[in-house]
Every structure is written in C-alpha cells, then in structure tokens.
A and B are shown apart, each in its own frame.
Chain A
Amino acid sequence: MSVKQEEVNFARNEQSETTMMPGKFATAMRTNLIWQFIRFVIINLKMLVVVSKSH
C-alpha cells in the first residue's frame, strides 16, 4: 500500500506535525487547468475591487 504524501509530510519533523496539510485533491486542484481558469477570473475580480478602493 502506498503511503499518502501528507503522511510523509507530517512525519518529517516536529515543526510539520502541527500544521494544516493539503490532501491529494486540494493539491491537484492547484494546477487543474479548468479550476484554475475559474480562480483566475475570480482572483482578478477580487484584486480589481481592492485596487479600485485604493486609488
């Protein structure tokens, strides 16, 4: 049975033990082209709001 990546990460040392670790799904979504295209649009809109509030 293959060990999950988060098991390896948590086991590295004491510092890692108490952190929040992304699982396989969250990690995969970070570079999923369709999901990231949607996030691209949303992040740009959010940034535009902050930029317009700051000028």
Chain B
Amino acid sequence: MARVVILGGGVSGHTAATFAAKWLGSSHEVVVVTPNAKWNWIPSNIWVGVGQMTKEEVTFDLDPVYKKAGITYKQAKAVSLNPEGSESETQPFVTIEYTGQGKEGESEDVTYDYVINATGPKLNFGATPGLGEGSQLGEHTVSVCTADHAEHANHKFLESIEKMKAGERQKFLIGTGHGMCTCQGAAFEYIFNIEHELKKAGVRDMADIKWISNESFLGDFGMGGLHMKVGGYVVSSKIFSESLYAERGVDWMIGAHVSKVEAGSIDYELLDGSTGSESFDFAMLIPPFAGVGLKAYAKDGSDITDTVFAPNGFMKVDANYAAGAYENWKASDWPRTYQNPTYSNMFACGIAFAPPHIISKPMSSPNGTPINPTPPRTGMPSGIIGKAVAHSVCDLVTKGEGAHLHEASMAEMGAACVASAGKGLTTGTAAAMTVFPVVPDFEKYPGTGRDTDYTFGEIGLAGHWIKHILHHMFIYKAKLKPGWTLIPE
C-alpha cells in the first residue's frame, strides 16, 4: 500500500488530492496536510470585500468532504521535508505541525511514497515596511487574499462609505504593495467592484479612486499583456484597460514599487527612478508572494533547502532555471511534469512550483530596484496542473517507476479568466477573457506570443453571469457532489 501525501488543500492541492483518491481507491492512502479547516473559493473573496457575499458563502468545511472521499486529513502545516529519510527513519517523510483537530502545536513525521507540494503562496507582507507583517490582515491597508482579509476589508470599506455619507471625501488607493507582486487581476477586480458599490451607495462623487501597480503598462497582468481580436482588429490589453479605467473615472500610476506604508500614505519609487508619496483614506494593496518557507534536510540532517527550493521559496521542478537574459527566454523553459529534478517522488503544483523566470518583460529603475510583475498562476492552470500531477503519481503507484508522466505546460495550455467589474444580476459586468497559451510562445507567434483565434476578451453582463455560475460550479465540484469530475478545472 502506497501513501501519497499532498501538502496544501487549496485550489491545486484539493484538485490533486480528490482525483488521486478517486483514481487510487482504497488500496492506497491519500493524505492531505493543510492548516485550514475550510476550503475557500478565493476568486469570490472580491465580493466578500465589498459586502456582496459573506465569508460563509465562499468557504466550506474540508473534514466531511475528505471523509466522504476516503482521504486522511491532517489539519496541520508542513514544516520540512526529509526526502531521503533520516538516520532513524528509512522512508522519506514530511514533518508537520498541527493547527487544529485538538492537536494544536503537536509535531508529527508523516512518511510518504510520493509527495505533492501544493502549499500556494506565503503572503509576504514583510517585504514592504508597514504593509502588515505580523498582523496578517494588513496594518494600514487591507487585503482580499483570504476570506478573513476580505471580511476585514469590507468593514473598512463600510466605514469609508459612512464618512462619505457624512460629507467627508475619501481617497481609495488599490493595487500592488511591492515592485515584485503578482495577482494584479485580483486588485483590478477589487477596484472596479469598489467603484460599482460606491455608485450604488450614491457616494461615487465623494470618492477619488486611484490604481497603483508594478505593471509597466496597464493591462500587463503579469502575463506581458495580451492581444485580443476585436472588431476585426488585434488590439493590446493596454488599450482596453486604459479605456475601462478612464470610463470609470479611475486614475492610474504604473511602474510603481511601494517602498513603505504608513497610516494614510505610501512611499513609492517609479521605473524612471523618481520617488514620491501618495495619500489614501482606504487602501487595498496585494502583498508580494513567496514560497511558504518549507525546509529540506538530507539523511544526515544537513540542510538541503537550496537543492529542493529556489531562493524565493518555491519548489524546483523540471523547468529551465538557466535561461538567462530575456532575449533567451523560450516557451520550453516552462515545466511540463512538475517533478523535482533531484527527488523523483516529489512534485509541486499550483503557485508552489518555482517558475523558470517571469513572463512580463523584466524592468528595473535606474536605482536597480526591480519593478515588474511576477508570473500569475491563476485558478485554471493551478487546477489543470494539480490534476496532471495527481495522474502521474497515480500511474507511478499503480504501474511502477517507469510510468509515463502526464504533462501540463503553461506554455501549451490556455486559461479562461473572468474578472468581475461589479456585481448585480442585471447591472453587473465582468471582463471575460481567454488566453492561449498562458505563457506566450514567440517562436510560434512572433508578434503577440499567442494564438489570436483563441485569445479574446469582452466586458459585459454576460461575463458577470459566467463569474457567478463559476462560483457555484467550483464550490459544487470541490464538495465532490454528484458528477463533480465532469466539471473542468
């Protein structure tokens, strides 16, 4: 009987675990180690952050779902990996520390035959002074990265609305809290949901709304932007984004590294090297992401973290980490199987794998400060990669070590993404987009990097309906309700 241990019960890990349990059946054991008691459909946190959904609507308890699936659930966080075992343990193992199930603080070594690292991001609030390290909620600013953060953001948002109703003007500053952030899409959704709600509350004219981000142009989204076919033209996402911001009366500052946050103001440095500060009454700044800080040890106890993990804390996989300068980057640098190059029974999926390099063009200020988005790993690629990795591991378990590994390169897959711009059954809008492939392939498509037959985007109520349906569909799927395997990632 083999044991497959999955670290992280988020979008990618939950997909991997549920498919592994289904494919392996009861003859093998699937273990999920995750510190959270609840699963969260993170994209809908945006609506929690503007009071349009409750925390309960975007989360559910993992325990009954894992019981139903026959998955061993350990509510704990992984601390370190011993891929060669130790002097007292011949099997590889992961050391975990419980966060629930009445064993809070207790440690345990969980041996494994295969391990899948799906620990997602550490929200690295500490990278920018004042952004909220320690509070894990945001100190002077708010965040919408978790359901708790989003609930807190909504309280602050409601306070601002009350002030505006009492005649006090409010300045909203929304975007990224560091020069190396990703997840611009989430901030994009939040700023337009804020704008929409302010209109509904009748206080839009009392608000100044400003976007701040590390993108070198609006609409980069960490993917180097995208070109869409519209009205017979192939047009850059820059044109569409600028159009939307201007139409909705939102100012923007781009190429910005937020260097410090204080009560009511931030300091920033721009790509041209200039510095300045910007005031705010309400700010939602996404923190940069890093790996969750797992350590790795060899059999003799020596630290091999650098062998297993990249310097940013994400796990090394079958990517080309030696691609060098931007001019040499290729689509083939991106991983296909997500197997660790040193330990073949170790895989990483979702945000937890180390990308070979960023996707956007690298940029830095004359002072040497890197200011460019890091690569996004959105829900659909995270789910597809989680499923492919689970498939590989199940084949290795059932067919032996020579089994063929399944592939899911972000340079060969597309992604569908729906970015909400305001909620409402008849008044809502969202930008519905697809890109193909996610990582541009300039060898195949020398101009845009993508296939313009499959890369499109449009804004409207239809997008909002799709976003709402996806919310229910993915929660239904994650709860393993009848027919869940028919719903694509």
User: Which residues of A approach B to under 8 Å, CB–CB?
Assistant: 9-10, 12-13, 15-16, 18-22, 27, 29-33, 36-37, 39-40, 43-44, 46-47, 49-51, 53-55
Contact = CB atoms under 8 A, between A and B. Distances in A.
Interface of B: 239-240, 242-243, 245-247, 249, 251-252, 380, 384, 413-416, 426-427, 429, 432, 434, 436, 454, 456, 458-463, 465-466, 488-489
B427 A15 contact: no
A53 B436 contact: yes
A52 B456 CA distance: 16
A15 B245 CA distance: 10
Q: Which of B242, B246, B456 has its CB near the most chain A CB atoms (within 10 A)?
A: B246
Nearest to B456: A46
A34 B127 CA distance: 48
A19 B460 CA distance: 19
Contact of A54 (B252, B384, B458, B459): B384
Contacts of A50: 414-416, 434, 436, 454
A43 B462 contact: yes
Nearest to B459: A30
B454 A55 contact: no
The A contact surface, by secondary structure, is helix
Given A31-B460, A43-B458, A22 B247 contact: yes
A16 B246 CA distance: 5
A43 B460 CA distance: 11
Contacts of A12: 246, 249
B461 A31 contact: yes
A43 B471 CA distance: 17
Nearest to A40: B462
A44 B466 CA distance: 8
Contact of B416 (A13, A31, A33, A47): A47
Given A15-B251, A50-B414, A43 B432 contact: yes
B461 A33 contact: yes
A43 B466 contact: yes
Contacts of B436: 50, 53-54
Contacts of B243: 19-22
A12 B242 CA distance: 13
B462 A39 contact: yes
The B contact surface, by secondary structure, is mixed
Given A21-B243, A36-B461, A46 B434 contact: yes
A27 to B, nearest CB: 8
B255 to A, nearest CB: 14
B432 A53 contact: no
A37 B426 CA distance: 11
A15 B209 CA distance: 14
Contacts of A55: 384, 413, 488-489
Nearest to A16: B246
**A-B complex: 3 closest residue pairs judged by Cβ atoms:** A40-B462, A54-B413, A16-B246
A10 B414 CA distance: 35
Contacts of A20: 239-240, 242-243
Nearest to A38: B462
Contacts of B465: 36, 40
Contacts of A37: 462
Contact of B246 (A19, A31, A47, A54): A19
Q: Which of A29, A33, A49 has its CB near the most chain B CB atoms (within 10 A)?
A: A49
Given A31-B426, A47-B434, A9 B456 contact: no
Nearest to A29: B460
18 contacts: A9-B246, A15-B251, A15-B252, A21-B247, A22-B247, A30-B459, A31-B426, A31-B429, A40-B465, A43-B458, A43-B466, A44-B466, A50-B414, A50-B436, A51-B488, A53-B414, A54-B380, A55-B413
Contacts of A22: 243, 247
A22 to B, nearest CB: 6
B460 A39 contact: yes
Q: Which of A22, A49, A54 has its CB near the most chain B CB atoms (within 10 A)?
A: A54
A44 B434 CA distance: 11
Contacts of A43: 432, 458, 462-463, 466
Nearest to B416: A47
Given A43-B432, A53-B414, A33 B426 contact: yes
A50 B488 CA distance: 11
Contacts of B384: 54-55
A15 B414 contact: no
Q: Which of B249, B416, B427 has its CB near the most chain A CB atoms (within 10 A)?
A: B416
Contact of B427 (A18, A19, A31): A31
A47 B246 CA distance: 28
Contacts of B460: 29-31, 36, 39
A15 to B, nearest CB: 6
Contacts of B429: 30-31
Given A19-B247, A55-B413, 15 more contacts: A15-B242, A20-B240, A21-B243, A31-B460, A33-B461, A36-B461, A40-B462, A40-B466, A43-B466, A46-B434, A47-B466, A50-B454, A53-B413, A53-B454, A54-B436
